[in-house]
């Protein structure tokens, strides 16, 4: 591929999608710096899942960066006074932005990705965003990614020197089922990932939130057993 041995920043959340993105980057022979943001998520289980994923797949490095997003408010994912909504119907999901949306989250994460790519001299930034089963977030759309690519081509010293980092979105146009099939082929152990917005104290999935519903449906459509560890009686 001509990329063998290059460095890549991989944004890693602990969920299914970013684990798959990391597996894709590793398959390309890239030296992967996995980065997880601790941003006032409701639970520390997400960060722990990211560490398990980085370890199990063999990232060269895993950094955890604490960014203030929770204290800004405005989302049920970071604001404990806003309840996480239960899974919605397809009609409800269509075109609506749920309360789990975190304002400008991907822009902030990708901005840090640009800084880290500059510092580590990485030619690639991988992000596992997805526009198919995307829960209605504005910053998961292809046109958003294109706009960020344009920005990345101008924003940093390496960009000015003719080596802008490439923003890689290998999952952008894949359904959840196709992501799962791809990751399974690449050896991802999805039992160590965590997608749930509202896990219990043991880090077990709720089975009800958008993310649980989409994930479970993905395994069903892929014709694979769902390895998710659910709270007792919560399997969808």
In whole angstroms, how large is the CA radius of gyration of the chain? Answer: 17
What are the φ and ψ backbone dihedral angles of 47, each rounded to 5 degrees?
Answer: -65, -40
Q: Which two tokens stand for residue 12?
A: 């890693």
Q: Kindly state the smallest distance separating residue 188's Cβ from its own copies, in Å.
A: 28
Q: How far is CA 204 from CA 21, 125, 227, in A?
A: 23, 30, 12
Query: Can you tell me the distance from the alpha carbon of 150 to that of 166, in angstroms, rounded to the nearest whole number?
Result: 10
Which x/- pattern, by CB under 8 A, does the window 193-222 give for its own copies?
A: ------------------------------
Query: Can you tell me the distance from the alpha carbon of 174 to that of 219, in angstroms, rounded to the nearest whole number?
Result: 14
User: Any contact of residue 92 with its own copies (CB under 8 A)?
Assistant: no
User: Which of 147, 185, 191, 227: binder of its own copies (CB under 8 A)?
Assistant: 147
Q: Which stretch binds its own copies (CB under 8 A): 42-50, 101-109, 200-208, 228-236?
A: 101-109
Q: Which stretch binds its own copies (CB under 8 A): 53-61, 155-163, 185-193, 219-227?
A: 155-163
Query: Can you tell me the distance from the alpha carbon of 218 to that of 222, in angstroms, rounded to the nearest whole number?
Result: 6
Which positions touch its own copies (CB under 8 A)?
65-69, 72-74, 97, 101-108, 110-112, 114-116, 118-119, 138-139, 141, 143-144, 147-148, 150-151, 153-157, 159-160
């Amino acid at each position: 591929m001509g990329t063998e041995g290059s460095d890549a920043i991989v944004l890693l959340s602990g969920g299914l999608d970013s684990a798959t993105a990391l597996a894709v980057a590793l398959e390309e022979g890239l030296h992967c710096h996995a980065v997880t943001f601790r941003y006032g998520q409701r639970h520390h289980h997400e960060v722990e899942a990211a560490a398990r994923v980085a370890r199990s797949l063999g990232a060269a490095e895993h950094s955890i960066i604490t960014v203030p997003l929770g204290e800004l408010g405005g989302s049920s994912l970071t604001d404990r006074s806003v309840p996480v909504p239960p899974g919605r119907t397809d009609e409800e999901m269509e075109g609506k932005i749920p309360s789990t949306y975190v304002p400008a989250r991907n822009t902030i994460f990708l901005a840090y990705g640009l800084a880290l790519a500059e510092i580590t001299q990485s030619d690639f930034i991988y992000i596992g965003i997805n526009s198919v089963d995307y829960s209605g977030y504005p910053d998961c759309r292809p046109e958003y990614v294109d706009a960020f690519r344009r920005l990345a081509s101008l924003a940093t010293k390496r960009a000015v020197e003719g080596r802008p980092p490439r923003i890689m979105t290998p999952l952008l146009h894949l359904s959840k089922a196709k992501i799962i099939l791809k990751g399974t082929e690449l050896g991802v152990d999805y039992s160590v990932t965590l997608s749930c917005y509202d896990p219990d104290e043991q880090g077990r999935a709720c089975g009800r939130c958008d993310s649980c519903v989409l994930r479970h449906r993905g395994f069903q459509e892929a014709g694979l057993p769902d390895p998710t560890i659910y709270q007792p009686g919560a399997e969808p």
